[in-house]
Chains A and B, each alone.
Chain A
Amino acid sequence: MTHALRITFLSLLFLLPGCGLMKDTTEPLHKQQSTESAPVTAARTAIDEANALLTSVNRVITQNVNDKIWTAAQAQGYLNESKASGKKVDDARNLLRLGFVNEAKTEAEAIKVVLIALQRRIATEARKEK
């Protein structure tokens, strides 16, 4: 992508109402009140947030590969980290299904911290190698 295109793209993101950067990216995933108990809702929310964060990370990886920003090896390293976290999220989901609500929430929240760090690393590493 040329510098001019980059600047145009970013300008649009900052200026156009309704575009990604103009919206609150910390908007909660769930709007509706859950009928489940508070601890189950908290555990489920942590699991859902972790899955949403992983999806976002994976899509940025795909985009950076398709744009030929990263080498296959570099992208594979990030994707492997993402897949490993995904398996842990699935474990948390299974814990929730088995009724281990607190354990599920603790597991999912711990994964989310790791994922936020991964997402930041991906952003700062994004185009360094170009």
Chain B
Amino acid sequence: MSGIAQLLDIGISLALAGIERTTIVNDVRKLEESGATPDQITDALQKMRQDSEKAAQAAIDKQRS
């Protein structure tokens, strides 16, 4: 793989991480606006993380099968 292609790929991964961060921040804003307590927001972020773990595991398992 050429250096330029690799740099582009790294850029895409960083960009994806940035987009994900923006999505999460927007979700937190919606919760804040709906009047959620800090504890409810922490619960929601924990669930978001757990769901993302399950989704990643499912994608890996699917690739294995």
Contact = CB atoms under 8 A, between A and B. Distances in A.
Given A21-B18, A52-B24, A123-B10, A93 B5 contact: no
Q: A interface, how many residues as a size bin?
A: 35 or more
Contact of A89 (B13, B49, B63): B49
B41 A55 contact: no
B9 A127 contact: yes
| Interface SS of A by simple majority | helix
B39 to A, nearest CB: 8
Nearest to A82: B53
Contact of A25 (B8, B22, B46, B53): B22
Given A60-B20, A122-B13, A79 B50 contact: no
A15 interface: no
B56 A62 contact: yes
Contacts of B12: 6, 9-10, 126-127
A54 B15 CA distance: 16
Nearest to A75: B60
A55 B48 contact: yes
A72 interface: yes
A55 B20 contact: yes
B10 to A, nearest CB: 5
A11 to B, nearest CB: 11
Interface string A54-69: 1111111111111011
Contacts of A55: 20, 24, 45, 48-49, 52
5 A-B pairs with the lowest CB-CB distances in the bound complex, closest first = A127-B9, A20-B19, A58-B52, A126-B13, A56-B20
